[in-house]
Amino acid sequence: MDIMTGVGLVAGVIVIAVMMLLGGSFELFVSEHAAIIIFGGSIAATMIRFPLGVMLHGLPLGARFAFTMSRLSAHDLVDELARIAEIARKQGPVGLEKVETDEPFLAKGIRYIADGYDMEFIRDNLERDRDNFLMHLDEGSKIYRAIGDCAPAFGMIGTLIGMVQMFANMTDPSKLGPFMATALLATLYGALVANLFCLPIADKLHGKLLDEETNRTLIIDGILMIRDSKSPTLVREMLLAYLPEKHRHEEGEEAHA
């Protein structure tokens, strides 16, 4: 569970809610017309940008990964692959059949080695799996960013519609208040949807895409070295390149110790 995503969203909602309550009540900030123009318009524009299949796949995938974290960090993966290399050296590929791991992508690579597949097959399948996953995660990030880009624009459109309706009914003072409220709330809704939800989630997904790309490439290299019967020490030394410089030295010192 990625706690920071949930904490950030809850904190943002609390801040906005407190500011609303300090100035009156929530009812003042409810407008069906503003909600329709923001959510309906943003979704419609996003549907024009992306195929339906991409949206149906990208939205839930993005929402899920925005609130979850990789089971193993790059640091943990180096240790895990070195451990697996040690088992493979002592027991052979058959010994990997009983190895358990919390990382599904790593588990798939271990299964390929245990089943005796050649290196080309393992490389092609793991790289294809990695690329497809990263593509779908990137689609999720782009969809949330597209909604975040559209929402403020449709907030401005809602504001303009409200202003036109207000000026068209200047002779009826009873209609000026509702039209002005719709105009202002459309801008508010658009800013909130974009800056509190969609754009932060899009940035979070982009960061996780980079992490997943690093981790899965690390796993592929480690699995291929294990399949090539490389020693655990060599596997660890080669994979240290994926770690930040500081962690790399710490790992190196532990390995030599």
User: Could you tell me if 133 and 145 lie in one domain?
Assistant: yes
pLDDT for 246 equals 64
User: Could you tell me if 25 and 69 lie in one domain?
Assistant: no
Contact predicate 42/151, CB 8 Å: yes
pLDDT for 57 equals 83
Q: Does residue 96 lie in a domain region?
A: no
Contact predicate 6/162, CB 8 Å: no
- Tens of pLDDT, residue by residue over 24-54, are 778 888 888 889 999 999 999 999 999 988 8
Q: Which domain holds residue 67?
A: 32-76+117-255
Q: Does residue 82 lie in a domain region?
A: no
Across the chain, what does the average pLDDT equal? 88
Question: Once rounded to an integer, what is the mean pLDDT over residues 86-105?
Answer: 89
List the structure tokens of 231.
Answer: 């020693």
User: Could you tell me if 126 and 160 lie in one domain?
Assistant: yes
User: Could you tell me if 131 and 69 lie in one domain?
Assistant: yes
Question: Once rounded to an integer, what is the mean pLDDT over residues 128-142?
Answer: 92
User: Could you tell me if 9 and 68 lie in one domain?
Assistant: no
Coil vs helix vs strand at 171: coil
- Cα–Cα distance measured from residue 192 to residue 188, given in angstroms and rounded to the nearest whole number: 6
The residue with greater pLDDT, 69 or 8, is 8
User: Could you tell me if 58 and 10 lie in one domain?
Assistant: no
List the structure tokens of 217.
Answer: 């490439």
Question: Once rounded to an integer, what is the mean pLDDT over residues 163-176?
Answer: 82
- Cα–Cα distance measured from residue 115 to residue 125, given in angstroms and rounded to the nearest whole number: 14
User: Could you tell me if 188 and 154 lie in one domain?
Assistant: yes
pLDDT for 2 equals 75
Coil vs helix vs strand at 82: helix
Q: What is the pTM of this model?
A: 0.83
Q: Report the percent of the chain where pLDDT is more than 70.
A: 95
Where residue 65 falls among pLDDT bands split at 50, 70, 90?
confident
- Cα–Cα distance measured from residue 219 to residue 226, given in angstroms and rounded to the nearest whole number: 10
pLDDT for 253 equals 47
- Cα–Cα distance measured from residue 105 to residue 8, given in angstroms and rounded to the nearest whole number: 29
Q: How many residues does the chain have?
A: 257
Helix axes 119-168 and 199-227, enclosed angle (nearest 10): 180
Cα-based angle 165, 170, 176 (whole degrees, multiple of 5): 65
Cα–Cα distances (Å) from 57 to 63, 113, 191, in that order, read: 10, 31, 25
Question: Once rounded to an integer, what is the mean pLDDT over residues 82-87?
Answer: 93
Question: Once rounded to an integer, what is the mean pLDDT over residues 76-87?
Answer: 92
User: Could you tell me if 136 and 236 lie in one domain?
Assistant: yes
User: Could you tell me if 17 and 121 lie in one domain?
Assistant: no
Tell me 24's DSSP state.
Answer: S
- Cα–Cα distance measured from residue 208 to residue 230, given in angstroms and rounded to the nearest whole number: 30
What is the total count of domains within the chain?
2
Q: Which residue shows structure tokens 């919390």?
A: 102
User: Could you tell me if 145 and 185 lie in one domain?
Assistant: yes
User: Could you tell me if 6 and 63 lie in one domain?
Assistant: no
Helices (H) and strands (E) in the chain, counts: 11, 0
